[in-house]
Amino acid sequence: MTAASISASDLSWGPRHGPAILKGVSFDLAAGRTLGIVGANGAGKSTLLRLLYRFHRPHGGKVHIGGGDLWRMTPRAAARRVAAVLQEQPTDFALSVREIAELGRVPHRRGLSGSGTREAEIVEAALHRLDLAGLAERRFGTLSGGEKQRVMVARALVQEPQVLILDEPTNHLDIRHQLEVLEMLRGLDVTIVTSLHDLNLAFDLCDEVMVLSRGQMIAHGTPDAALDPATVAHAFAVTARRERLEPSGRTRFTYSLTASDRTY
């Protein structure tokens, strides 16, 4: 895998005949960096991600991956560059874990050529990395939510993308697998854009954070700058507190409803 830069300029999108859901979002992310997208429910996080993995064509603005316009590439070329791990999981319940992971090779195959030794090695390595070797022959439909999530990350790795788009990648994962998956992702030579609900994770994991509110970017920068308590309070309509824990030196957020929000 070789990371590629992402450049998004003035992106907007909305449903046909509906109001704009995403308005004027721009950012430049250098190759190999991790950008976290945070914001309240409905803020537009998944919508922004959909524009980055070529699901929605922007109504305004452009996305460039490694300098190339995402919508001027063929779908196959785009799929060789960008992989996505989504909240919605596939319904190929009858396929085995290995077969789902192998689907990640499709953009790399020419014609009807099957899988060679190298292809098989890539799949095995990804299954191993995600702690799935023992489940390789299991039917996808029989897995737990967290096991399914790990299969989807494995399939994305098998795709050997330059850019990895993740929509809430830690959903369903227990704390050990959260740490393992996040540490593994950080070690990849890939550029990552991920939505996250957990601000503590965003602070620890990301090189940069973007805060969305009602479809607009209200902050973007280092986690320290973007996640300042006033911005968090505004974006999530809560009282936010940010503390530095000793002796670890890690930053932790805690939240409460503002007094006027209480209904009791």
Ligand X SMILES: Nc1ncnc2c1ncn2[C@@H]1O[C@H](COP(=O)(O)OP(=O)(O)OP(=O)(O)O)[C@@H](O)[C@H]1O
Residues that bind ligand X (CB under 6 A): 15, 18, 21, 39, 41-47
CB of 164 to ligand X, least distance (A): 17
Among the listed residues 177, 171, 184, 178, the one whose alpha carbon sits nearest the alpha carbon of residue 125: 184
Q: CA-CA distance, 5 to 124, in Å (whole number)?
A: 28
Tokens of 96: 């085995």
Question: Which residue's CB is nearer to ligand X, number 42 or number 141?
Answer: 42
CA-CA-CA-CA torsion sign (55, 30, 186, 97): positive
- Asked if 11 and 58 touch (Cβ cutoff 8 Å), the reply is yes
CB of 97 to ligand X, least distance (A): 26
Question: Which residue's CB is nearer to ligand X, number 43 or number 97?
Answer: 43
Tokens of 64: 């460039």
Question: Which residue's CB is nearer to ligand X, number 42 or number 134?
Answer: 42
CB of 264 to ligand X, least distance (A): 25
Q: CA-CA distance, 229 to 253, in Å (whole number)?
A: 8
Question: Where do we find the tokens 């305004």?
Answer: 60
Taking CA atoms, 135 is separated from 1, 120, 154, 208, in Å, by: 25, 16, 12, 35
> SS3 sequence, 98-155?
HHHHHHHHHHHCCCCCCCCHHHHHHHHHHHHHCCCHHHCCCEHHHCCHHHHHHHHHHH
CB of 86 to ligand X, least distance (A): 11
Question: Which residue's CB is nearer to ligand X, number 162 or number 213?
Answer: 213
DSSP state of 55: S
Question: Which residue's CB is nearer to ligand X, number 44 or number 223?
Answer: 44
Question: Which residue's CB is nearer to ligand X, number 77 or number 218?
Answer: 218
Tokens of 133: 């070797």
CB of 18 to ligand X, least distance (A): 6
Question: Which residue's CB is nearer to ligand X, number 17 or number 110?
Answer: 17
CB of 223 to ligand X, least distance (A): 19
CB of 221 to ligand X, least distance (A): 19
